[in-house]
Amino acid sequence: MRVVSGTCKGHPLKAVPGQSTRPTTDKVKESIFNMIGPYFDGGIGLDLFGGSGGLGIEGLSRGLDKVIFVDKEQKAITTIRTNVETCRLTEQAEIYRNDAERALKALIKREVQFDLIFLDPPYHNHKLKALISILDVNNLLKRDGAIVVEHAVEAELPEQIGKLELKRHEVYGITAISIYHYPNIES
């Protein structure tokens, strides 16, 4: 596992010890960023189920200004810190140990809005639709932002959740990527 492109290209990333997380493969990571970027001119990201931090770190490497990483497992938080330090991105990262729902409540209070949100929960977590709905209802995603959801192929997500629409859906073996965004509204 490594950073695929950008300022940290080639930096190896440590995986979270044990079997509790499933890191995004480099191939899938590259495909995700080809769909949404591939590079960014600033912006703020949220890596809500951080794991090793691979998606958020890739976003930073490709030009995001800041990423907030959240995971409820201490082993994951330790791994994210190590990977962020290895890539010299500490100043651009906020790292919190919390579960997804409580983290979102804290972010709502802070009135933060994100350009890019990564949702890559454990495949047995079936709260994706509810989490995306929370993001929509509480305006956590900027109007021109995107939510990237990595999930099991069998976990089907609807074409629309609140005001968010499914923009793209791709399958890579047992992994599916669904990208949500707000529809373009002509004024």
In order of their start, the domains of the chain are: 26-181 (3.40.50.150)
pTM of the model: 0.94
Judge whether residue 163 has pLDDT over 90. yes
Among 3, 121, 111, smallest CA distance to 60 is for: 3
pLDDT reported for residue 32: 94
What is the C-alpha to C-alpha distance for residues 173 and 56, in angstroms, rounded to an integer?
Answer: 22
* Order of strands across the sheet that contains 160-161: 93-97, 66-71, 44-47, 114-119, 141-152, 175-181, 164-172, 160-161
How many residues does the structure list for the chain?
187
Rg, the chain, Cα only: 15
Structure tokens at 146: 């995107």
The per-residue pLDDT for range 46-57, each reduced to its tens digit, is: 999 999 999 999
The per-residue pLDDT for range 92-150, each reduced to its tens digit, is: 999 999 999 999 999 999 999 999 999 998 777 668 999 999 999 999 999 999 999 99
Please state, as a whole number, how many other Cβ atoms lie within 10 Å of the Cβ of residue 64.
25
